[in-house]
Structure 1
Amino acid sequence: MIDVHCHLLPEVDDGPRTMEASLQLARRAVEEGVTSIVVTPHAYHPYFETQHHDITKEVAHLQQRLDEEQIPLTLYVGQEIRIFGELIDALESGEAHSLAGSRYVLVELPSQSLPAYTESLFFQLQAAGYVPVIAHPERNREFALHPEKLHHLVSAGALSQVTTSSLTGQFGRQVRELALTFISNGLSHIVASDAHNVEHRDFNWLAARQEVINELGEEMWQQQLRFTEAILADEPIAVNPPHLPEKNWRGRWKW
């Protein structure tokens, strides 16, 4: 499996604090069936000063350590970029990194809101040849209350990525149901771990796989795998038109 959202670098953000912790997390990834990881430390986030890090160099160093330890993982450079107005300039200058050098850009939104300029910025990103990938929309309060806003962005060409731990219920029943709802309605297209450590933010790939297969079917899971492969290959991802989620008579999301 390919993981396109993972905080594996040591001493950069809220991921592993030591190289040994990074290696431990990498070993866990292999146990979960992961073969490739796009390493995505936070960028332009108000709580993490990461801009002084040379991410390309640090990923190469971590890859060297994995090879020395005979941990069979292939690493790629990426970032989880907090949305900001100069995002395109940062990408074009090389100060910000897309996923594995592809057209796909992992964009993090504030957890409680949707900035007013989001639609305009996404349009500009696409006009410049990029595809915005919204990180963990199921954990965004605005999308939970108003899924039509996610529907609008996806209809205009954005993709979104659900977290494995959301599917397994780690963030609560409501987040789990919303994650499954977004996938089944074509509002989320990619599953990734957003793993930070083995203690509290693990990969949970095998459990998430079982959840998707049990609730939505094997083909839906295989689609997630194909889409992550397309990201690494920088190939276009063709998705079906999304549907606006509905609730049943009990007020719970239907999928």
Structure 2
Amino acid sequence: MIDVHCHILPDVDDGSECMQESINMAMIAKEQGIDKIIATPHYHPEFKYLKGEELNKVCEEFKKQLKENNIDIEIYLGNEIYFTYDLIEKISELDFYCLNKSKYILIEFPPTNFPLNLCNIVYELKQKGFIPVLAHVERYIKIHDDPEIIYDCIKTGAIIQINSSSLIGKQGKEIQRFCNLLIGRNMVHLVATDAHGSQRRRPMMKDAYQYIEKKYSKEIADNLFINNAQCILDNKEIIIEEPFEKSMEKVSFLKRIFRR
């Protein structure tokens, strides 16, 4: 499996605190069946997180340590970009990393100041040559209140990511139910760990993969955990199914059940 959202690099943000913890996270990931990880440290204008070439040096040293410890996991570099209202205007000046030097960018939004014009933001990022990957959309109350926001964003060109822990109920049954609502409408393209440590928010994906395989199909599980993520690594277009309109929600869920 491929994890496209993981805070595994040591001492660069609020994720892993040291190299040994990063190594421990990698060992957990390997046991889970993860063999490729895009490290996505936070890129936040108000916090002094490591960025630019210094961040790349940490990534290279981590890869060296993995090799010395015989942990066979490929590490790629990206950022999780925190949205601010001047992001679009300043984006060409910022030294963030796209996901493995691709056109895909991972972006999160302020939960208490969620943008009302999300679809327009997706459109403007697309116009600038990026494909926005919207991180952990199940965490936003605004989207729970109006899932059509995600439908419109997908139609505009966004890629949607949810967290593996949310999918299997670790964040509560309501968030799990919402994840299934989105999947049932073809409105999820990636499942990732958003892991932050080896003791808390660990890089766990196996249970989530098996959950999708059992509830929907192996084909869907492979797309959410492997195939679409590989497209990002290869900088290729993700071929996504048309999202279902709200009126088609129950029909789409039944179609996926009987696909198994």
Give the TM-score normalised by the residue count of structure 2: 0.88
4+ residue runs over 3 A deviation: 85-94, 244-248
Question: What is the Cα deviation at residue 16 of structure 1?
Answer: 1.3
The answer for the alignment partner of 1:251 in structure 2 is none
Distance, in Å, in 2 between the alignment partners of 1:90 and 1:51 is: 19
Question: C-alpha deviations, 1:168-219, integer Å up to 9, x for none?
Answer: 2110001111112212212111111111112220122110011111212211
**1:2-151 alignment, distance < 5 Å:** 2-44=2-44, 46=46, 48-51=47-50, 54-88=54-88, 92-93=92-93, 95-151=95-151
Structure 2 runs not aligned, ≥5 long: 251-255
Is residue 2:240 matched to residue 1:239? yes
Q: CA RMSD in A?
A: 2.1
Structure 1 runs not aligned, ≥5 long: 249-253
Maintained 8 Å contact 1:76/1:100 = yes
Maintained 8 Å contact 1:43/1:96 = yes
Distance, in Å, in 1 between the alignment partners of 2:93 and 2:67 is: 30
Q: Which amino acid aligns with 2:210?
A: Q
Maintained 8 Å contact 1:42/1:82 = yes
| Equivalent residues, number | 249
The answer for the alignment partner of 2:253 in structure 1 is none
Question: C-alpha deviations, 1:73-96, integer Å up to 9, x for none?
Answer: 111110111112443566544601
Q: Which amino acid aligns with 2:18?
A: T
Maintained 8 Å contact 1:4/1:192 = yes
The answer for the alignment partner of 1:184 in structure 2 is 184
Q: Which amino acid aligns with 1:227?
A: N
Question: C-alpha deviations, 1:110-159, integer Å up to 9, x for none?
Answer: 22453134333321210122100100111111111111111111111111
Distance, in Å, in 2 between the alignment partners of 1:113 and 1:138 is: 16
- Using the aligned pairs only, state the percent identity: 30
Give the TM-score normalised by the residue count of structure 1: 0.90
Distance, in Å, in 1 between the alignment partners of 2:134 and 2:89 is: 19
Task: Kindly indicate which of the two structures has a greater share of residues assigned to helix.
Answer: 2
Maintained 8 Å contact 2:160/2:190 = yes
Distance, in Å, in 2 between the alignment partners of 1:207 and 1:87 is: 36
Distance, in Å, in 2 between the alignment partners of 1:199 and 1:242 is: 36
